[in-house]
Amino acid sequence: MIEKIRSYCEKRGFEVCSRTGERIGIAPGVVRCYFIYLSFLTFGSPLIVYLMLAFWIRIKEYMRSRRYSVLDF
């Protein structure tokens, strides 16, 4: 049950923490904890960084996926 909730939140949360953890080589849970601690210590400024990373991930996925038009045969 907890895995379903975590999966749902990660999918809706742009997967920033899990991708960052995979890239750095640490567990995504640790990245989430540090993100939460930093958010409390710096009054929410890491939220801006999180949103920029989420935007960057979406743009990267969009650029990698090839879009087919009606004229391609």
68 Cβ contact list (under 8 Å, min separation 6): none
Whether 15 maps to a domain, the answer reads yes
Domain count, the chain: 1
Instruction: State which residues form the domain around 46.
Output: 2-64
Per the listing, tokens 């920033």 go with: 16
The secondary structure of 21-38 as a DSSP string is HHHHTS-HHHHHHHHHHH
Statement: the pTM of the whole predicted model exceeds 0.75: no
Q: Write out the chain's pLDDT in tens, 73 residues.
A: 778 877 777 666 667 888 888 888 988 888 888 888 888 888 878 888 888 888 888 787 777 776 665 665 5
Torsion sign over Cα 39, 41, 42, 43: positive
Whether 73 maps to a domain, the answer reads no
Whether 71 maps to a domain, the answer reads no
d(CA 17, CA 24): 11
Whether 69 maps to a domain, the answer reads no
